[in-house]
Amino acid sequence: MRSDIELRTNFYITAVSVSARLSTVLKEAKNISLEAMNAKALVARAGENVRTFKPITDYMVELANDTIRLVEEINRESLLISKSSLISLRGNEAFGHFLKAKNLSKGALYQNSFSSALLAAEKDLQTFKQDLQKNVRMLNELLEEIETRMLAANVVTSTSRLEAATVSNLYRANFEAIVAKFETAAKNIRATVMECRKVLNGR
């Protein structure tokens, strides 16, 4: 039973740890959004010379917004894991108390009166476990989705760098700087998400 309690305690601590790390992801996603806005402004000023860059800026905005949305969902799941862990811990304690009471009442006149309460506590405990496992799976899926998007961002970064190289000298340095910041933000997000997944999976 002790290892079971430790497991739930670890899930609680892990959920809090993941939420704390996600502040970095949120910050970087906002940086991507800011750079996308800067790129859009440059595209508007440069006109036809950089029209091929517009889809890239649209993608950057979409990526930033999706990442922010996913972080919000992850924070909600982390909160649910924290709550599920605490509820499961209490359920574990209740089950232990009922089991102890039943064992102590062996031979007593009302020994069987504990049976229904013990069964109910055991059933609740199983439900709590299932809820906790479901929340952890969902959190893993959300983190994986962000990581997948950041991998896709690598391809866009390569395309962006090629496009920036074709821009007139007047705007090239600005576009190259935006691409570099976008690449850095995407890498930082992916690294943080990978760390979150390691923490979540106990590796």
Residues of the chain with pLDDT under 70: 1-13, 84-99, 101-102, 104-115, 117-118, 121, 125, 202-203
Q: Which residue has the tokens 């509820």?
A: 87
How far is Cα 44 from Cα 140, in angstroms, rounded to an integer?
39
pLDDT of residue 92: 67
> What pLDDT is attached to residue 173?
87
What is the distance between the alpha carbons of residues 78 and 135, in angstroms, rounded to a whole number? 8
User: CA-CA distance, 73 to 134, in Å (whole number)?
Assistant: 14
Q: Say what the pLDDT of residue 112 is.
A: 65
**What's the pLDDT score for residue 1?**
44
Q: What is the pLDDT of residue 2?
A: 42
Per-residue pLDDT at 115: 66
pTM of the model: 0.74
pLDDT at residue number 98: 63
Q: Show the tokens assigned to 92.
A: 């574990």
Query: How far, in Å, CA of 192 to CA of 70, rounded?
Result: 14
Sketch out the chain's domains with CATH numbers: 2-200 (1.10.287)
